[in-house]
Amino acid sequence: MSNVAPEGPPAAEATAAELQSEQLVETVHVGPVAVLSMVYRPHNLLGPKLTGAIVDAVQGAVASGSRAIVLRSGLRNFCAGADVTQFSRSAQEQEQTTLGPVAFLEFMETLPVPVVASVHGACLGGGFELALIADYVIAAASAKIGSVEIALGLHPLMGGIQRQVQRAGILRAKELSMLGRRYDAATLERWNLINLVVEDEDLESATMTVAQELANGPTVAHAATKRLAWIAANEGVVAADLAMEDLQKPIWASEDLKAGLRSFRKNGPGLAVFEGR
């Protein structure tokens, strides 16, 4: 899971057949963690092609029993922005090939397993929006991150503004989108847009430590936590309170809760081994 993969020929020089057969997201299983590496050359430009590949890879990981997912890049940059060629396609054409932006965001944010975004290099525009839909964002100290769509006469098109408002507040969200600057990871950690910043050489190990901890936790409870947090963020605390009892029912029936209670009685807190059921 190195931060930089060898660069191949630029996408502009690739033949149509090569692009058609290209695997855009590579999956490696490390115990209960599925590591998904985006390799859409040259810079993982985000559009229906890449989001469709991410959905396929995520669905495969969940179906295989993975209990946490790492979303990272196998190229020099995490994601350098939008694939501007998509702007010439009609909304109807895009809907026929992949989930629309809102459906993609909801799909990722409501997955029953935790998602960790591991960011290095450039994480700009749509790449920043992609990172924001993860449950935990960890970034290399040298990463450059920002909502730079203003350079094209746009603003974030995939829900980035409202998610920045949720996390950093309205003033910072407007600053990010209206000035279009690139920020260092430490600044965005202070603004509550990133969970953790580490030295570049520690990104891989730190990412896997967090992902393994999440994957070895009580998966049923994690799913309920994610859903409850999503409802609270999008519909408010009252809606979350009303949904809480039903969302907690699977926890009470889970094998993980039984294992946790047995371990607590026998060994005290913090020593339970969960199976994710």
Residues annotated as catalytic are 129, 149
Query: How many angstroms separate the Cα of 179 from the Cα of each of 146, 153, 172, 174?
Result: 10, 12, 10, 8
Q: How far apart are CA 34 and CA 258, in angstroms?
A: 26
E-strand ranges in 58-100 read 68-73
Query: How many angstroms separate the Cα of 164 from the Cα of each of 100, 101, 132, 178, 230?
Result: 20, 16, 8, 13, 14
Q: What angle do helix axes 160-168 and 170-179 make, rounded to 10 degrees? A: 140
Q: Are 75 and 7 in contact (CB under 8 A)?
A: yes
Q: How far apart are CA 174 and CA 191, in angstroms?
A: 13
Residue 94 sits at φ, ψ, to 5 deg, of: -65, -40
Three-state DSSP at 255 gives helix
Closest CA to 167 of 124, 133, 143, 119: 133
